[in-house]
Amino acid sequence: MAEKQSDWVLGYVDEVWWSRLAQPALHSWADGEPLRLTGRALDKSDSDPKALACYGLLRADTGQMWLRFVQGRPLSAVTTQFLAWSCERLRAVGKKALLVVWDNASWHLSHAVRQWIKRHNQQAKREDGVRILRCQLPTKSPWLNRIEPHWVHGKRAIVEPTHTLTANHLMERVCGYYGCEQFPHLSKQV
């Protein structure tokens, strides 16, 4: 549907945790014992969170990744902020609809998010904004969301085997890898 409408965008949406301590699974050739990246313990003086939650939208039309880190964890209130932010950006480039492909996370299926999308679409119709069409994936089918491999490759690309990254350095690396601007954190406090 989105390919037939030049002012529609197909967007794959998902959330991911970026750990400062855990290391991704990597394969390597080694003589003798296999090489392994090991997780590390957090220094007691380190006040940064162990992991950062992040919302992402992969645009099917341009291949761009849009990211917003989260203060805390993904919730319905944060999901609606991410959707509103995405629609504002799409409206700025003349788009009229966002087809959201996402999984069955509770904050995607919640009554609050469904009601927010309904109100948002009513307002978008009145004000010539960007409507949202939800495309729910079947349960337990992450391979159908095209953003999933991007997360895996990103985690492997930003790994730091010698020391623990600060939260800010981690966010810089993530945004640098995906070639996207770093925006202020989303927060459940609106």
* Residues in contact with 9: Cβ distance below 8 Å, sequence separation at least 6, in sequence order: 2, 59, 60, 61, 90, 95, 97, 98, 99
Q: Is residue 37 part of a domain?
A: no
Contact 120, 87 (CB under 8 A): yes
Please provide the size of the chain in residues: 190
Q: Is residue 36 part of a domain?
A: no
Which residues form the domain of 176?
2-16+50-184
Q: Where are the beta strands (DSSP E) in 22-152?
A: 51-59, 65-71, 97-102, 131-136
Average pLDDT, rounded, for the chain: 88
Q: Is residue 42 part of a domain?
A: no
The pLDDT assigned to 23 comes to 63
SS3 4: helix
Residue 145: which of 3, 10, 9 has the closest Cα? 10
Rounded mean pLDDT, 93-97: 96
Q: Which residue is associated with the tokens 């529609």? A: 8
Q: Which residue is associated with the tokens 């509770």? A: 106
Lowest model confidence (mean pLDDT) among 9-13, 92-96, 144-148, 186-190: 186-190
60: CATH: 3.30.420.10
Q: Is residue 153 part of a domain?
A: yes
Q: How far is CA 97 from the centre of its chain?
A: 19
In whole angstroms, how far apart are CA 21 and each of 17, 40, 54, 141, 169?
11, 5, 16, 27, 13
Domain count, the chain: 1
Q: Is residue 107 part of a domain?
A: yes
Q: Is residue 39 part of a domain?
A: no
Which tokens go with 72? 């805390």
Q: Is 138 exposed, middle or buried (0-12, 13-18, 19+ CB in 10 A)?
A: exposed
Q: Is residue 144 part of a domain?
A: yes
50 vs 148, residue with greater confidence:
148
* pLDDT tens, residue by residue, 158-187: 988 788 889 999 999 999 999 999 999 998
Q: Is residue 167 part of a domain?
A: yes
* pLDDT tens, residue by residue, 15-41: 999 988 876 555 555 566 665 555 566
